[in-house]
């Protein structure tokens, strides 16, 4: 997914001279295309994420679009105050792109996981939060992000994500996509964990449970209408995210359900259980270990339908 | 600068000081020492140094930009801008009050304020980003960033210093309001920055010290000569006195936070007015 993102960004930058890339010494093997094509719109700030974000804000304040880009939580948590005070307060046209959302960098360990990002980024005023689930959606999300004026957080995957959509992807910020329909329950996910969700929905179908599958690619602003419709039309909702249980997609959906008066339905959030991820392994293995495997998702839907 | 021009700079600083004292007294807020410390820096910048700045055209792309990183001393910038006609002076009387126009730290929602600050260490990275864009496009406008001693404790300030030095963005000038007092004590006892000019030169900057950062002639002489060296960003380190102009506030860190009582306010105003500006 990161290769697809970089390719699409480069294509956009060829047409739009406002696009700048502001790095913190991360991006080997991916960012060279941009750096070589547009050296005047590229800067490597060194391992200095606070400066990267401040510089990006200064670049954006001069009428440009500035991309900050790094691994997992590097461009968010290290420089959170710069994102809050500089980017969000000034509504600066800065796009914060992370590579390896969730536990995509599995065996590198917790320092390279991004598992609180959705909660923290969506708590910031003016911030749009996007988490594409597969490569076609990531490409469309990149176009939508670049066309949007203002701060965006973009949780990119890593590499070789399988496709989730069967048909061409339509992408509008703030409007969820129904991947497949169903009437017994709705599964709402954000990001690349969607593939496990898709496999779970297929298993559930074989077991006689018709589950609607929704890619909530925009975690903020949340598509409240789609959540409400899921509640009234299917009567049960499971949220799935490769993220801590606190404050992410599941929390956002729960808030929407309660605020809209549609919360009186069977509901469950599947997420990391508020523990530090200390086990060592690949993203897939870690998801299985921490309760986000296909079997866990299938079991969770069956549980809320009991 | 002739005598008349010098007088105008001193007068603007004097008026800004009186405004700051009134604002802090009425609002029962802090940071008066930090405001009084930079009155001349701001008056010289706005009257003598910055180009293409106009209150009714504050977004002119050719304007020199001033990022005021020591946001807690922003009362001095508000007072200077009000005196220059960027917004009604009456707004100063609402500083730090319910439904007021002006907050305790500067905000870009006010005409003439380039960037909001308040947490230290934020100004220099943004200034560096603006400088990079202008430098690469061969723009004529300059970027100035006013920082405090406390700003120079923050790692992010030094991240920006290293980056600008690395690339030689000579349209960027950092002005240090070097009063050597910070919130909890003397800078030399907290984080001693000396020798600051040497440190900056080691990071690829040109640096000059203004021995009296309240002498408008000295300030103008150095600030009008930036870039101090072609191909390097400039640092102008202004030796200032926190609380300058009010005897009992000068060089006393209690006035980083201390609110001003009615009696103290009267005494301070009397002292300033006795100087005959």
Each residue's pLDDT tens digit, B118-131: 999 999 999 999 99
Q: Which residues of A touch B115 (CB under 8 A)?
A: 61, 86, 90
Mean pLDDT of the region B40-44: 98
What distance in Å separates the CA atoms of residue B244 and residue B36, rounded to the nearest whole number? 5
DSSP label at residue B154: S
What distance in Å separates the CA atoms of residue B82 and residue B48, rounded to the nearest whole number? 17
CATH class of B3-274: alpha beta
Torsion B106-B109-B114-B115 (CA) sign: positive
Each residue's pLDDT tens digit, B48-62: 999 999 999 999 999
Give me the total of CB pairs closer than 8 Å, taking one residue from chain A and one from chain B: 88
Residues of chain A with pLDDT under 70: none
DSSP string, A233-262: HHS-EEEEEEEESSSSHHHHHHHHHHHTT-
Which among A18, A19, A26, A58 is positioned nearest to A44, based on CA atoms? A26
Q: Please answer whether residues A2 and A30 qualify as being in contact, where contact means their C-beta atoms are separated by less than 8 angstroms.
A: yes
Looking at residue B142, its pLDDT comes to 98
Which among B57, B5, B59, B15 is positioned nearest to B277, based on CA atoms? B15
Q: Please answer whether residues B274 and B18 qualify as being in contact, where contact means their C-beta atoms are separated by less than 8 angstroms.
A: no
CATH class of A177-304: alpha beta
Check whether B255 has a pLDDT greater than 90: no
Mark yes or no for CB contact A54/B156 under 8 Å. yes
What distance in Å separates the CA atoms of residue B246 and residue B36, rounded to the nearest whole number? 9
Alpha helices for B2-51 (secondary structure H): 3-27, 32-37, 39-44
- Give the N- to C-terminal CA distance of chain A in Å, as an integer: 37
Q: Which fold has domain A2-156?
A: Rossmann fold (3.40.50)
Residue B65's closest chain A neighbor by CA? A62
Alpha-carbon distance A86 to nearest alpha carbon in chain B (angstroms): 8
What three-state secondary structure class fits B108?
coil
Mark yes or no for CB contact A50/B133 under 8 Å. no
Which of A58, A62, A89 lies at the smallest CB-CB distance from B125?
Answer: A58
Which of A43, A46, A81 lies at the smallest CB-CB distance from B119?
Answer: A81
Q: Which residues of A touch B156 (CB under 8 A)?
A: 48, 50-51, 54, 82
What three-state secondary structure class fits B177?
strand
Which of A45, A57, A59 lies at the smallest CB-CB distance from B163?
Answer: A45
Q: Which residues of B touch A45 (CB under 8 A)?
A: 159, 163
Residue B179's φ and ψ, nearest 5 degrees, are -90, -5
* ipTM, 2 dp: 0.96
Chain A within 8 Å of B122 (Cβ-Cβ)? yes
Q: Which residues contact B266 (CB under 8 A, 6 or more apart)?
A: none
Check whether B259 has a pLDDT greater than 90: no
Looking at residue B277, its pLDDT comes to 83
Which among A23, A22, A25 is positioned nearest to A59, based on CA atoms? A22
What three-state secondary structure class fits A71?
strand
Burial of residue B231 (number of CB atoms within 10 Å: 0-12, 13-18, 19+)? exposed
Check whether B276 has a pLDDT greater than 90: no
Looking at residue B256, its pLDDT comes to 82
Chain A within 8 Å of B60 (Cβ-Cβ)? no
Two structure tokens written together for A9: 């960004």
Chain A within 8 Å of B118 (Cβ-Cβ)? yes
What distance in Å separates the CA atoms of residue A270 and residue A250, rounded to the nearest whole number? 8
What distance in Å separates the CA atoms of residue A97 and residue A156, rounded to the nearest whole number? 7
Each residue's pLDDT tens digit, B135-173: 999 999 999 999 999 999 999 999 999 999 999 999 999
Which of B119, B124, B155 lies at the smallest CB-CB distance from A85?
Answer: B119
The reply to whether domains A2-156 and A177-304 share a CATH topology is yes
Q: Where are the domains of chain A?
A: 2-156, 177-304
What distance in Å separates the CA atoms of residue A101 and residue A127, rounded to the nearest whole number? 17
What distance in Å separates the CA atoms of residue B97 and residue A64, rounded to the nearest whole number? 36
Two structure tokens written together for B56: 């009714």
What distance in Å separates the CA atoms of residue B158 and residue A46, rounded to the nearest whole number? 12
| Omega of the bond leading into B227 within 30 degrees of 0 (cis) | yes
Mark yes or no for CB contact A51/B130 under 8 Å. no
Q: Please answer whether residues B144 and B42 qualify as being in contact, where contact means their C-beta atoms are separated by less than 8 angstroms.
A: no
Mark yes or no for CB contact A62/B108 under 8 Å. no
- Each as own residue / partner, the long-range contacts of residues A278-287 (CB below 8 Å, 24 or more positions apart, any chain) are A278/A110, A280/A106, A280/A107, A280/A109, A281/A106, A281/A107, A282/A106, A282/A107, A283/A102, A283/A103, A283/A104, A283/A105, A283/A106, A283/A158, A284/A106, A285/A106, A286/A103, A286/A106, A287/A103, A287/A193, A287/A196, A287/A242
Looking at residue A175, its pLDDT comes to 98
Q: How confident is the model at residue B257 (pLDDT cuts 50, 70, 90)?
A: confident
CB atoms within 10 A of CB B276: 6
Which among B10, B92, B77 is positioned nearest to B48, based on CA atoms? B10
Q: Which residues contact A202 (CB under 8 A, 6 or more apart)?
A: none
Chain B within 8 Å of A211 (Cβ-Cβ)? no
């Amino acid at each position: 997914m990161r290769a697809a993102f970089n390719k699409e960004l480069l294509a956009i930058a060829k047409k739009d001279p406002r696009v700048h890339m502001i790095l913190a010494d991360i991006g080997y093997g991916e960012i060279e295309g941009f750096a070589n094509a547009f050296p005047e719109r590229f800067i490597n700030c060194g391992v200095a994420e606070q400066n990267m974000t401040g510089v990006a804000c200064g670049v954006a304040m001069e009428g440009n679009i500035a991309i900050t880009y790094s691994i997992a939580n590097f461009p968010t948590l290290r420089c959170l105050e710069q994102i809050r005070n500089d980017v969000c307060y000034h509504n600066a046209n800065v796009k914060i792109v992370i590579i390896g959302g969730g536990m995509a960098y599995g065996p590198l360990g917790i320092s390279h996981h991004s598992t609180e990002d959705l909660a923290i980024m969506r708590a910031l005023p003016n911030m749009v939060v996007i988490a594409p689930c597969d490569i076609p959606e990531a490409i469309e999300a990149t176009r939508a992000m670049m066309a949007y004026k203002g701060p965006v957080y973009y949780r990119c995957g890593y590499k070789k994500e399988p496709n989730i959509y069967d048909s061409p992807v339509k992408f509008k910020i703030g409007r969820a996509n129904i991947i497949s329909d169903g009437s017994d329950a709705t599964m709402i996910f954000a990001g690349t964990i969607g593939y496990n969700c898709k496999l779970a929905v297929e298993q559930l179908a074989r077991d006689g449970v018709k589950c609607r599958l929704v890619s909530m690619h925009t975690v903020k602003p949340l598509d409240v209408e789609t959540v409400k419709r899921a509640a009234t039309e299917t009567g049960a909702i499971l949220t799935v995210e490769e993220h801590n249980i606190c404050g992410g997609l599941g929390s956002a959906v729960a808030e929407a359900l309660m605020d809209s008066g549609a919360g009186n339905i069977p509901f469950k959030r599947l997420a990391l259980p508020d523990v530090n991820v200390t086990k060592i392994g690949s993203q897939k293995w870690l998801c299985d270990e921490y309760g986000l495997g296909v079997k866990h998702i299938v079991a969770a839907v069956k549980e809320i339908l009991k | 600068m002739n005598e008349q021009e010098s007088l105008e700079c001193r007068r603007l600083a004097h008026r800004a000081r009186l405004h700051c004292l009134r604002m802090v007294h009425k609002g029962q807020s802090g940071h008066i020492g930090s405001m009084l410390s930079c009155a001349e820096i701001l008056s010289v910048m706005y009257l003598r140094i910055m180009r293409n700045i106009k209150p009714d055209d504050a977004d002119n792309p050719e304007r020199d930009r001033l990022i005021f990183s020591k946001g807690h001393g922003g009362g001095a910038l508000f007072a200077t801008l009000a005196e220059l006609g960027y917004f009604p002076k009456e707004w100063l009387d609402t500083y730090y009050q319910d439904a007021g126009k002006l907050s305790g730290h500067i905000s870009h929602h006010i005409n003439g304020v380039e960037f909001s600050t308040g947490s230290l260490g934020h100004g220099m990275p943004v200034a560096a980003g603006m400088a990079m864009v202008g430098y690469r496009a061969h723009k004529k406008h300059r970027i100035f960033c006013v920082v405090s001693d406390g700003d120079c404790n923050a790692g992010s300030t030094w991240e920006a210093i290293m980056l600008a030095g690395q690339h030689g963005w000579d349209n960027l000038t950092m002005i240090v309001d070097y009063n050597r007092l910070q919130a909890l004590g003397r800078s030399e006892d907290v984080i001693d920055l000396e020798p600051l000019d040497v440190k900056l030169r080691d990071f690829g900057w040109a640096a000059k010290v203004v021995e009296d950062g309240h002498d408008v002639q000295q300030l103008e002489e150095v600030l009008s000569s930036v870039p101090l060296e072609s191909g390097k960003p400039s640092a102008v380190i202004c030796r200032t006195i926190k609380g300058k102009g009010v005897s009992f506030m000068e060089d006393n860190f209690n006035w980083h936070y201390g609110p001003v009582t009615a009696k103290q306010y009267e005494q301070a105003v009397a002292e300033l007015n006795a100087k005959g500006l």
